Amino acid sequence: MPVHYSKINLLKMSPSVIRINTALPGTPRARVMIVYTGGTFGMVRDSSGVLIPLDFGSILEHLPALRQLQLELSVVAFDEPIDSSNIEPHHWREMADIVQQHYRDQDGFVILHGTDTMAYTASALSFMLEGLAKPVIFTGAQLPISEPRSDARENLITALEIAAAKGREGARVPEVCIYFGSELLRGNRAKKAESQHFDAFQSENYPPLAKAGVKIDYLDSAIHRPGPGALLHVRSTFDSRVGVLRIFPGINPLWVRSVTETPDLKGLILETYGSGNATTARWFLDAVRNLVSRGVIVLNVSQCPGGMVIQGKYETSRELAAMGVIGGGDMTLEAAVTKMMLLLGEYGPGETRTRIGVSMAGELTHVTVT
C-alpha cells in the first residue's frame, strides 16, 4: 500500500521560530525563512573541539554579514538534526509542510541540508510543490560553518539573496533550486558530483539558472515561471516500493532475478549504458519482460551524467522499448526515483505509466516517445 504521510505539527518539530530582522530600524526588503534540517553546514566545535549542532539563535555571531542583507529572517531548525544519509520521504513531507504553512507570510525559503541526498530532496520537493511561485533554495556546505575556510558563509548569503530577489513578475526564481559553489541549479536537474571540492553539484543537461560572481547573473530564459494566478498545491503521498538496477558488464543473472522478482515491487529504474542500452542476453530480456507483464513500471535512465535515453537508437535498446520499458529521456536518477515514488503514491500504476515520461517540473527536456 502507498505510504501516507500525515501533516506534521510545526511546533512539535521545532519548539520555536527564531526571528532576526537585519534591517532595523529600517524596513526589510523581503522576508525569508531558513529551515535547518541537519548536515555539515550547521556544525560548530564546542570547547573540547567536538562538532555539535549550531544554536541558530547565535547565527549572527558566525555570520555578521547577514546584517547587510536588509532582510527579515525566520529560522526553523529540526529538533533532532539529521544526517542527510538518513533522509526518508516523511522528511520531505515535513519540509513541504513548512513551506505550505508559511507560504503567505514569506517571500522565499532557504533549506539547509546535507549534500549527500540534497539532489533527491530537491527533486522530491520540486514535484510536491505544484504551482510554486516563490523560491525554495537548497544549500549546504562541504565544511562546517565554524571552520575558517568553510564554504557555508558564501553559500548561505547568496542563497538568501536569491530567495529574496524580485523581478518584474514577482519572485526572480520561483523554483526549487540548489545553490552551491557559485551556481544556481534547478533542483531536479542536479547531481552531487564532488565530495572534496566546493563545487559539489553539476547539471549536465540543463544550464545554471544563475551564476554568482561580483554580481549574480540570472539566465531568465531558463527559469520556469508558474501560470497566472497559480496556487500552491502540495502533493504528499509516496509509494516507496521502487527499486534501482544498475547494469554493468558481467552482471549476474541471480542478482538481476533477486531484484526483478522482489515481491510487491511497483516500479523499477534501469540505469543503462549511453543512450539507453543494455545487454541483449536472453535471460536479462526475459527478466525485464516478465516484470513488465506483471504490471511493474520500468523506466530507463542513463548512467551518463549528460545526454539522454533514446530507446531504439541502437539494437541493444530496441527490445526494451518493444516490451514496454519507458524511456526516461534526460532525467537524473534522483529525479526518476522521487518522481516515480510520488506518482505511484498519488495516482497508482496506470496513471504513473502515462505521466512518468512527461515533464512535471522541468526535469525533462522534452517528452520521449518510445
Helices (H) and strands (E) in the chain, counts: 10, 23
Give CA separation, 281 vs 289, 302, 311, in Å.
Answer: 12, 19, 17
To which residue does cell 526494451 refer? 320
Q: Where are the alpha helices (DSSP H) in the chain?
A: 10-13, 59-62, 89-101, 118-128, 152-164, 253-260, 282-293, 315-322, 333-347, 349-355
Average pLDDT for residues 43-66, to the nearest whole number?
66
Give the pLDDT confidence score for residue 6 in this predicted structure: 30
| Residues in the chain, overall count | 370
pLDDT above 90 as % of the chain: 65
| d(C-alpha 74, C-alpha 71), whole Å | 10
Q: What is the pLDDT, as a whole number, of residue 1?
A: 46
Which 3 state secondary structure label does DSSP give 172? coil
Which residue of the set 40, 115, 139, 158 is catalytic?
Answer: 40
For residue 97, CA distances in Å to 11, 62, 90, 129 come to 12, 28, 10, 10
Question: If residue 238 lies in a helix (H) or strand (E), which one and from where to where?
Answer: strand 237-238
Q: Which of 88, 80, 83 has the alpha carbon at shortest distance from 120?
A: 88
Give the whole-angstrom CA distance, residue 164 versus residue 69.
Answer: 9
> Cell numbers 510554486 correspond to what residue?
132
User: How would residue 55 be classed by pLDDT, with cut points 50, 70 and 90?
Assistant: low
Q: Give the closest residue to 307 by CA, choosing from 334, 273, 278.
A: 273
Query: What does the mean pLDDT of the chain come to?
Result: 87
Q: Could you give the CA distance from residue 189 to residue 346 in angstroms, rounded to a whole number?
A: 22
The rounded distance, in Å, linking the Cα atoms of 231 and 129 is: 10
All structural domains of the chain, each given as residue ranges with its CATH number in brackets, are 3-234 (3.40.50.1170), 239-355 (3.40.50.40)
Per mean pLDDT, which range of 44-48, 154-158, 164-168, 187-191 is the poorest? 44-48
Convert the pLDDT of each residue in 221-245 to its tens digit.
999 999 888 899 999 999 999 999 9
Is 22 a residue of the active site? Answer: no
pLDDT of residue 317: 81
Neighbours of 225 (CB within 10 A): 15
Q: Give the per-residue pLDDT at 85.
A: 87
Quote the CA–CA distance of 183 and 208 in Å, as a whole number. 6
Q: Give the DSSP H or E segment for 191.
A: strand 191-192
Block residue for cell numbers 526564481? 173
pLDDT, position 57? 63
pLDDT of 84 higher than 70? yes
Instruction: Give the model's confidence band at 63: pLDDT under 50 very low, under 70 low, under 90 confident, else very high.
Output: confident
Q: Give the three cell numbers for residue 198.
A: 566546493
Q: What is the pTM of this model?
A: 0.90
* 111, 37 Cβ separation under 8 angstroms: yes
What pLDDT does residue 23 have? Answer: 80
108-131: per-residue pLDDT in tens?
999 999 999 999 999 999 999 999
Provide the pLDDT confidence category of residue 369 given band limits of 50, 70 and 90. very low
DSSP 273: B
pLDDT in tens, 168-193: 889 999 999 999 989 999 999 999 88
* Most confident by average pLDDT, 20-24, 42-46, 258-262, 333-337: 333-337
Tell me which H or E stretch contains 202.
Answer: strand 201-202
pLDDT for position 44: 60
Instruction: Tell me what pLDDT residue 77 has.
Output: 83
DSSP 150-219: -SHHHHHHHHHHHHH-EETTEES--SEEEEETTEEEEGGG-EE--SSSS--EE-TTS--SEEESSSEEE-
Mean pLDDT across 282-293? 95
What pLDDT was estimated at residue 294?
94
Measured torsion, CA atoms of residues 59, 64, 66, 70, in degrees rounded to the nearest 10: 130
Task: Write the CB contacts of 21 (distance below 8 Å, at least 6 apart in sequence).
Answer: 28, 71, 72, 73
Q: What is the pLDDT of residue 211?
A: 97
Task: Decide if pLDDT at 217 tops 70.
Answer: yes
pLDDT at 37 over 80: yes
Of residues 60 and 197, more confidence is placed in 60
pLDDT the model gives residue 17 = 83
